[in-house]
Structure 1
């Protein structure tokens, strides 16, 4: 799921970028251009015959339209939802979001919050971090990325609860979430929030589809029991404060 990212100091990795314009909601079928809707309606029999959007997208009659829709969305700003705990009110609106740097996040966390933990807990913390991130090579897929849900339903699903329950993002809590005392303390720092953002054109990873969530939204207008699934993506650049649209307590 999303790699929650608590930004405690300015990022020096890359220059943030921003984009003007209202971002599209990928969980709202009204985000589809009219000419796409007209073409999808010609394929309604396929949508009505399937519960899962993946099956629909794999149909050779639908596949070319999915590809075209994907390319259309790649040049539009879209909405994303980042699940995390905010260290203090207004933090993300002022600072934006930075890319994950596991070692830097851990050093920063200890500098800011190390005083909340006992010497024994700090030893357990360092050992757990080393075993998990170094010993198990769990840095892969985390450093240099910033994760977002692409639909509000995904952001409020069971899979994101761990990011609301523990402060610090995966770089901090992942190997500690079952520790008998550290996990409880991580749940006292900050406030659980959903950070709604504008993802600028071309920023979302091409390894994660933008078309499927929007196609799924259309699917739900055709049959009420359509399975919406979960949708997420990541970017590899910091997100500027001006691209933070709202911060909502959970």
Structure 2
């Protein structure tokens, strides 16, 4: 069974699209009423309950049921030296010590003695300034939407080899090391497939809402108000879940 691509409604389960199409008018009316209530003065909201959304809730329950055993396509922004390494070994959760060791190896191979000498001091400064970095970034991060790769949120991952961890280190190093890191590797996107439920806790809450909003937008005369999420996978993504590894300008990841 092919994974569901949030950007391509033709890949969505027909049970979901058929329901959303059949009840489009009710879904729009309920969402508009809810949006109006949300924007109303706080005094009004204190005195009045939010409008019921029975059809919206029914749609969310259906999506949760249908998508329970399905996979989603997701996109991971990075900057790579070796594309085949990801295809062979998959994506691993951030291990800063391993990341830094690999960086030092590349600098050593390049004969970048001055830059190599800057690494440890830069890492120390970075961790002192952001002691929660390892815990916060110790996962595989991705997005379900191609547009999110190009909206500014992921740009940092393309600026230096190794993504945000190395970008932050470079920021504390400045000088030669910062410039060297901007010359290493190629901006790339790793396309993965992952279980809709069980791999990312944010997906559980955001997927149904996003599918309804995006389907309404697809039908026309509607701008999705609330959709998308950051995919945080607290496990390595194995090679069998890697769909493709492509340069940033590949048509497969064009927004």
Mark yes or no: TM-score above 0.5. yes
What's the TM-score once normalised by structure 2's chain length?
Answer: 0.74
- Structure 2: distance between partners of 1:180 and 1:60: 58
Q: Cα distance, 1:151 vs. partner? A: 0.8
2:188 matched residue in structure 1: 193
Q: Cα distance, 1:185 vs. partner? A: 1.4
Q: Over residues 93-120 of structure 1, what are the superposed CA-to-partner deviations in whole Å (9 max), with x where a residue is unaligned?
A: 2221111111221122212334547555
- Structure 2: distance between partners of 1:43 and 1:201: 23
Unaligned runs of 5+ in 1: 1-20
Instruction: For CA contacts below 8 A with separation 6 or more, give which structure has more relative contact order.
Output: 1
Native 8 Å contact 1:117 1:182 kept in 2? no
2:47 matched residue in structure 1: none
1:215 matched residue in structure 2: 212
Give the secondary structure class of the aligned counterpart of 2:189.
Answer: strand
Native 8 Å contact 1:191 1:249 kept in 2? yes
User: What RMSD in Å do the two structures reach over aligned CA positions?
Assistant: 3.1
Q: Does 1:128 align with 2:122?
A: yes
Q: What is the total number of aligned residue pairs between the two structures?
A: 226
1:22 matched residue in structure 2: 2
Which structure's residues are more often helix, by fraction?
2
> For 1:35, which of 19, 25, 29 is the aligned residue?
19
1:14 matched residue in structure 2: none
Give the secondary structure class of the aligned counterpart of 1:97.
Answer: coil
Q: Cα distance, 1:194 vs. partner? A: 1.1
The verdict on how the C-alpha distance between 1:36 and 1:161 changes in structure 2, with shifts beyond 3 A counting, is: same
Equivalence map 1:57-206=2 (5 Å): 60-61=52-53, 62-63=56-57, 65-116=59-110, 118-137=112-131, 138-143=133-138, 145-177=139-171, 179-206=174-201
- In terms of Rg, which structure is larger? 2
Q: Cα distance, 1:245 vs. partner? A: 1.3
2:237 matched residue in structure 1: 239
What's the TM-score once normalised by structure 1's chain length?
Answer: 0.75
Q: Over residues 188-228 of structure 1, what are the superposed CA-to-partner deviations in whole Å (9 max), with x where a residue is unaligned?
A: 21211111111134343113422233233213224354457
